[in-house]
Homo-oligomer: A and B are copies of this chain.
């Protein structure tokens, strides 16, 4: 009947849009820039170096921020995900393209670097490398550090800069080192040694200047919701500090 159909439609809607974390509405009207997915660094026209990243966590964060009323720019590497609704999505392939897209998206109130950016790139050959004789030796050069670049002090630095750390072992200690080294305000760390890539769940640790929070194993959507609430509260705290 009609009532059952309406109830089913509402239930479906609830499923698509989980309830907001307490306080996430503090992001309303703010500009949030999120990077997501891997970057692909060409070796030649046929081959490339990539990172394992489905983009699920970054896209979920962009979606959660948009649901909280933020203006969201999502800069995404090659992923097979749908664009989150209400989000301005810009697609790039390499780390250098991602940095240029981030710079052109600033200024922002919050920057979330969820992408798995390739640390190195190869000087790309114009033609396909032939398989003849000995295997080539790939000379790698360092890519720009997007997180450190955005987190560096300056006029365009967003109020809150969030980094991600994918570690295999000794996760929290390495995440704390990365937090200090990059100059970000919050770092989301996870241990990727067992089945996180492409999965729907994530176990993360939140590193801030106040210490480390261990979050339970959660769906990536729930991690995104919690993080949106956490960022809204950080923004509110910053504003009260500034006005105090």
Contact = CB atoms under 8 A, between A and B. Distances in A.
User: In which size bucket is the chain A interface?
Assistant: 20 to 34
Interface stretch (A17-25, A57-65, A152-160, A164-172): A164-172
Contacts of A119: 131, 135
A192 interface: yes
A71 to B, nearest CB: 30
Nearest to A138: B138
A48 interface: yes
A152 to B, nearest CB: 17
Interface stretch (A3-11, A39-47, A99-107, A202-210): A39-47
Given A140-B135, A140-B137, A168 B49 contact: no
Q: Majority SS of interface residues in chain A?
A: loop
Q: Which 8 A-B pairs have the closest CB atoms?
A: A135-B140, A119-B131, A80-B80, A138-B138, A120-B135, A128-B168, A127-B168, A45-B168
21 contacts: A45-B52, A45-B168, A45-B192, A46-B166, A47-B49, A47-B51, A47-B52, A48-B51, A49-B49, A120-B136, A127-B169, A128-B167, A128-B168, A128-B192, A131-B142, A135-B142, A137-B137, A137-B138, A137-B139, A137-B140, A138-B140
